[in-house]
Structure 1
Amino acid sequence: MPGAKVHPSYAESETFIEVDPTGRYVRYPELLGSGSVKRVYRAFDKEEGIEVAWNQVRLKNFKDDPVMVDRLHSEIMLLRGFSNDHIISLFASWKDDVSDTLNFITEVCSSGSLREYRKRHKNVSMKAVKKWSKQILEGLNYLHTHDPCIIHRDLNCSNVFVNGNTGQVKIGDLGLAAVVGRSHSAHSVLGTPEFMAPELYSEKYTEKVDIYSFGMCVLEMVTREIPYSECESVVKIYKKVTSGVRPQSLNKINNSDLKSFIHKCIAHPPSARPSAAQLLHDPFFHDLHES
């Protein structure tokens, strides 16, 4: 019709602020989360018609820290080779030389981190906690039995993500993961203090550190408190952990089966802790009847 304005398409009118080199992914300004290393934005995969997460790292912030840059590249390489329902999937990655950023596209979980999800939903049954726990263990078992063996080293409830409409949980943020292979041992002190096993501080440990962290995750899921929140500093947490003092929130648990299960996970020495595969068959989960 002569003189009529052409109405812009929905895609053209959307407020996206960045496009990947292939034109497949577009980034929106909405920030899903951020940390000391990367910022995660809402994004869209035009080819598949699904929402995704656009992870972006400003490399100039780490120009004096090549080790951290190496870790980020390691996370991308690790994720590329993974295929598990309980590990966050990686779809694409690239370095933008103009903006000096490292970008990678991962799947997005609709309800954010398990920590935030649990804060929003206070009334949760033990059955739900068991279902989340079992899925985390499925992810850990995949990492620990991978060839080579992978230790996450920073498992906590802010690194586990939830699809609230299905109850599915997935492990993410593998930037501190270690490939340990046949030796199953590592030597760097890394992680989140409240969730770090005692042996991590001695710089000689195996994948059993993830089992300890998992136990602390279960504790947080139930109490909605970060373990050792009674401590005012990292130093005090370190002293309690290395001397075998348990977090005060453990005293709030009255369910004997649950308390026993957590104690198995955080047992010391590490050899006393079951593997992820063994925990998946623990009596704690016997009342779950999943297909």
Structure 2
Amino acid sequence: MGSIFMAILRGQTVAAKMLKKSETAGMQAYRDLITELDILISIGKHPNIVEFIGACIDDPQSPIVFEEYLSGPSVENFFIKKNSVRATPYKLPRNTIIGWILDMMRGLNFLHDRDPIIIHRDMKPGNLLLKADLSSLKLADFGMGKVVNQAMINSIVHTGHTGAVRYMAPEVYHVAKGHYTEKADIFSAAMIMWYIATGQRPNQGQGHNVEWRPDLNMVDWVELRPIIAQAWSAQPQMRPSALACIDLLLRLDGVNELLLVGSVPTASCTCTMM
């Protein structure tokens, strides 16, 4: 969607999202930027959501959205860089696995536990941005987001096939238009949990088979496996809410000790933004 630049706004370093010259009103990129602006204005602040700073709409055909700038990589780029110099996938320590997953689910819970509810619809590692010290992450890119009144959540029809196929819920993938809820985000989050826990992209080289899932045996943290399995259930109603996922994660043996350590993988990590 458009282009993203680092900019200085009133003395503050920010991320500036703007359209390319070829992208005009009516095009998908324009609609995505306006959608993201509307959502960011409405949701307020949360430590696991990229903060909205402001916007320039002097030219309605070329709006600019200013957001919090995070100098760390995305989760996707973190693993791409780590795995580019290794023969085997990079495995995060458990303190980082639980810290990043909890941050992701807390951000999702903030979107889902409101009225109207916000369905992100593009949950993927590339939209999870890390702080420079890798101690926490934030959800970003709300261009495909959908705002839905709670009373209509079980009846409203959405556009299908939205988001990244690798992380897409089956009920989203298999329809041009259809009914789905915030539980589609939970499915995507489960795929990301597996990625964070294994260091490998899910669905590598696979078609989008509604029954296929990555191998849970590749998740070394055995107690985490059933949480992931619940969250990527083929039946949306069987997936736990984001809040329920948080509760399950906090009940894992030894998790309090891991959280005291913090989420930073290593003191010497030199990951840079890609």
Normalised TM-score (structure 1): 0.76
Asked whether 1:187 is paired with 2:162, we answer no
Larger CA deviation: 137-146 vs 256-265: 256-265
Out of 89, 97, 115, which is 2:51 matched to?
89
The answer to whether the Cα contact below 8 Å between 2:91 and 2:199 also exists between their aligned partners in 1 is no
Q: How does 1:138-217 map to 2 (within 5 A)?
A: 138-165=106-133, 167-182=135-150, 183-185=152-154, 186-189=157-160, 190-200=162-172, 201-202=174-175, 203-217=178-192
In the comparison of the two structures, how many residue pairs are matched?
Answer: 242
Q: Distance in 2 between matches of 1:268 and 1:175?
A: 26
RMSD of equivalent CA atoms: 2.2
Asked whether 1:280 is paired with 2:246, we answer yes
Deviation readout 1:163-196 (Å, 9 max, x if unpaired): 0326121000000011111222442111111111
Deviation readout 1:214-250 (Å, 9 max, x if unpaired): 001111112222211123xxxx32xx1x2x1113x54
Call closer, same or farther: CA 1:267–1:208 in 2, change over 3 Å. Answer: same
Call closer, same or farther: CA 1:283–1:144 in 2, change over 3 Å. Answer: closer
Q: Distance in 1 between matches of 2:32 and 2:238?
A: 30
Out of 207, 228, 231, which is 2:203 matched to?
228
The answer to whether the Cα contact below 8 Å between 1:115 and 1:221 also exists between their aligned partners in 2 is no
The answer to whether the Cα contact below 8 Å between 1:257 and 1:284 also exists between their aligned partners in 2 is no
Q: Distance in 1 between matches of 2:231 and 2:91?
A: 24
Out of 67, 75, 80, which is 2:41 matched to?
80
**Which stretches in structure 1 are left out of the alignment for 5+ residues?**
1-36
The answer to whether the Cα contact below 8 Å between 1:62 and 1:69 also exists between their aligned partners in 2 is yes
Deviation readout 1:245-284 (Å, 9 max, x if unpaired): 113x544224321221210110121111100111111056
Equivalent residue for 1:246? Answer: 213
Q: Distance in 1 between matches of 2:21 and 2:12?
A: 28
Out of 34, 51, 56, which is 2:18 matched to?
56
The answer to whether the Cα contact below 8 Å between 1:258 and 1:284 also exists between their aligned partners in 2 is no
The answer to whether the Cα contact below 8 Å between 1:130 and 1:285 also exists between their aligned partners in 2 is no
Letter in 2 for 1:188: T
Call closer, same or farther: CA 1:132–1:124 in 2, change over 3 Å. Answer: same
Q: Distance in 1 between matches of 2:6 and 2:97?
A: 28
Asked whether 1:70 is paired with 2:34, we answer no
The answer to whether the Cα contact below 8 Å between 1:96 and 1:103 also exists between their aligned partners in 2 is no
Q: Distance in 1 between matches of 2:128 and 2:251?
A: 20
SS of corresponding position for 1:271: helix
Call closer, same or farther: CA 1:53–1:245 in 2, change over 3 Å. Answer: same
The answer to whether the Cα contact below 8 Å between 2:23 and 2:29 also exists between their aligned partners in 1 is no
Q: Distance in 1 between matches of 2:225 and 2:25?
A: 46
The answer to whether the Cα contact below 8 Å between 2:25 and 2:31 also exists between their aligned partners in 1 is no
SS of corresponding position for 2:79: helix
Equivalent residue for 2:267? Answer: none
Larger-gyration structure (1/2): 1
Call closer, same or farther: CA 1:245–1:195 in 2, change over 3 Å. Answer: same
Aligned-residue sequence identity (percent) comes to: 24
1:133 CA drift (Å): 0.5
Equivalent residue for 2:102? Answer: 134
The answer to whether the Cα contact below 8 Å between 2:23 and 2:30 also exists between their aligned partners in 1 is no
Q: Distance in 1 between matches of 2:76 and 2:134?
A: 17
1:120 CA drift (Å): 3.6
Tell which has more relative contact order, 1 or 2 (C-alpha 8 A, sep 6+). 2
